[in-house]
């Protein structure tokens, strides 16, 4: 039996968004970021549909291994690199490109030489200050790595902390410019490919594009910019999360709806019950008033979201019947808008869609 809650994944939209990324990337190569199960969209199906990209990127070795076992042949960058000797060996065997961000990884490489990865990224902290060697150490680390017998191509990267604040806002965000400069100065004279840009930087900061760009969220059709503080993008939503209305009930003015009874009917009205809840990944923190799309029109969430169900207030003139579809986000209702209501970002909503939801893929894969 087909489950009621459905995440419809439009692979044509995905490929459209890749084409948009390409327009911004110009001559830069693209590694499509498919970590966290491709932001909740299903990593292998997404990777298949993106097969004509220059490379992929994931967070950890396990994710990379899953891609290789599926037959993905392109370079795969592993953002966290290897955590131990065993993962280093996996990187070597499966031709992964681990990110080196800490001296414990250099020590592991020195022990393992000359059986070393065919490619590595050397990551420097320039302002994000989460993972990465200190920029001031760039030349020393480079030398230490270069002297290793058996090391493959070395590439250089950093990560932007505030590119999502956008370039065309009134208060110009100088932080990103500073990061780009710091990276340039630290790595000056080192002959290697470079990568700096996530989606936001790729779009808003042309100076960050370099040899490789790393778009993630934009591939899935959501905006990388906070509060719409970026250019209007021609991106298409890839995931449309929907479910069915399984009951419509008439309630009287003043009657409470849902756990806690903290929402009450402002007048006599119909309440639709939709078969989706936080057990499916719809956020429990969504407040009453969060939009839900029913038959092409916006209605408002009413009362608390529960595990399997949520309730929606229906305007009297909205034609609706049991069995109709309700869309929680996606086509016609941007996930960014829901994220704003929930005080989070689209990334978190998309990643949280649970495997109780039935995933349906449509659209074509590359030949």
The residues annotated with a catalytic role in the active site are 35, 259
Among 165, 96, 97, smallest CA distance to 127 is for 165
Residue 121 in tokens:
């990224």
| Biggest alpha carbon–alpha carbon distance for the chain | 78
Quote the distance between the C-alpha of residue 303 and its chain's center: 29
Per DSSP, the residues of 27-70 read TSEEEEE-HHHHHHT-HHHHHHHTTTSSEEEESSHHHHHHHHHT
Residues 189-208, one symbol each (x = binds ligand PLP by CB under 6 A, - = not), give ---------xxx--------
Cα gap 157→155, rounded to integer Å = 7
Single residue of 25, 33, 43, 327 touching ligand PLP by CB under 6 A: 33
Binding piece for ligand PLP, criterion CB under 6 A, among 182-190, 214-222, 237-245, 293-301: 214-222
Cα gap 189→40, rounded to integer Å = 40
Single residue of 159, 209, 251, 304 touching ligand PLP by CB under 6 A: 159
310 binds ligand PLP (CB under 6 A): no
Apex CA 134: angle with CA 131 and CA 135, to 5°?
A: 115
> How near is the Cβ of 198 to ligand PLP at its closest, in Å?
3
132 binds ligand PLP (CB under 6 A): no
Cα gap 318→233, rounded to integer Å = 31
Name the 3-class secondary structure at 362: strand
| Buried b / exposed e along 65-90 (16+ C-beta atoms within 10 A) | bbbeeeebebbbbbbbbbeeeebbbb
> How near is the Cβ of 159 to ligand PLP at its closest, in Å?
5
Rg (CA), the chain: 23
258 binds ligand PLP (CB under 6 A): no
Single residue of 138, 204, 217, 245 touching ligand PLP by CB under 6 A: 217
215 binds ligand PLP (CB under 6 A): yes
> How near is the Cβ of 182 to ligand PLP at its closest, in Å?
16
Binding piece for ligand PLP, criterion CB under 6 A, among 216-224, 235-243, 269-277, 278-286: 216-224
Single residue of 40, 75, 117, 224 touching ligand PLP by CB under 6 A: 224
At residue 49, φ and ψ (nearest 5 deg) are: -70, -20
Q: Which is nearer to ligand PLP, 221 or 277 (CB)?
A: 221
Which residue sits closest to ligand PLP, CB atoms considered?
Answer: 216
> How near is the Cβ of 233 to ligand PLP at its closest, in Å?
12
Name the 3-class secondary structure at 269: strand
> How near is the Cβ of 57 to ligand PLP at its closest, in Å?
7
**Sign of the alpha-carbon torsion through 275, 281, 287, 291:** negative
230 binds ligand PLP (CB under 6 A): no
Residue 272 in tokens:
């639709």
Residues 79-98, one symbol each (x = binds ligand PLP by CB under 6 A, - = not), give x-------------------
Residues contributing to the site for ligand PLP (CB under 6 A): 33, 35, 79, 159, 198-200, 214-217, 224
């Amino acid at each position: 039996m087909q489950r009621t809650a459905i995440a419809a994944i439009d692979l044509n939209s995905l490929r459209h968004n890749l084409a948009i990324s390409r327009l911004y990337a110009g001559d830069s190569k693209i590694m499509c970021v498919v970590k966290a199960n491709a932001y909740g969209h299903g990593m292998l199906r997404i990777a298949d549909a993106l097969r004509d990209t220059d490379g992929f990127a994931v967070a950890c070795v396990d994710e990379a291994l899953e891609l290789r076992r599926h037959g993905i042949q392109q370079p795969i960058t592993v953002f966290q690199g290897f955590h131990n000797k065993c993962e280093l060996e996996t990187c070597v065997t499966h031709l992964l490109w681990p990110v080196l961000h800490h001296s414990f990884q250099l020590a592991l490489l020195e022990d393992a030489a000359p059986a070393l990865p065919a490619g590595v990224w050397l990551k420097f902290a320039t302002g994000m200050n989460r993972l990465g060697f200190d920029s001031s150490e760039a030349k020393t680390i480079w030398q230490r790595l270069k002297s290793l017998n058996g090391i493959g191509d070395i590439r250089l990267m950093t990560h932007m902390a505030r590119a999502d604040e956008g370039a065309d806002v009134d208060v110009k965000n100088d932080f990103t410019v500073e990061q780009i400069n710091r990276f340039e100065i630290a790595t000056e004279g080192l002959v290697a490919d470079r990568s700096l840009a996530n989606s936001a930087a790729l779009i808003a900061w042309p100076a960050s594009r370099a040899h490789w760009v790393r778009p993630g969220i934009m591939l899935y059709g959501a905006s990388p910019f906070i509060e719409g503080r970026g250019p209007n993008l021609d991106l298409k939503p890839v995931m449309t999360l929907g479910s069915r209305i399984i009951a419509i009930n008439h309630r009287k003015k003043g009657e409470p709806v849902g756990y806690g009874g903290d929402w009450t009917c402002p007048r006599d009205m119909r309440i639709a019950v939709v078969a989706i809840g936080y057990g499916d990944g719809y956020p429990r923190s969504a407040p009453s008033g969060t939009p839900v799309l029913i038959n092409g029109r916006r209605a408002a969430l009413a009362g608390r979201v529960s595990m399997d169900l949520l309730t929606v207030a229906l305007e009297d003139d909205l034609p609706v019947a049991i069995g109709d579809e309700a869309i929680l986000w996606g086509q016609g209702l941007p996930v960014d808008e829901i994220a704003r209501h929930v005080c989070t970002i689209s990334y978190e909503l998309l990643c949280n869609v649970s495997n109780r939801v039935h995933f349906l893929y449509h659209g074509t894969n590359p030949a």
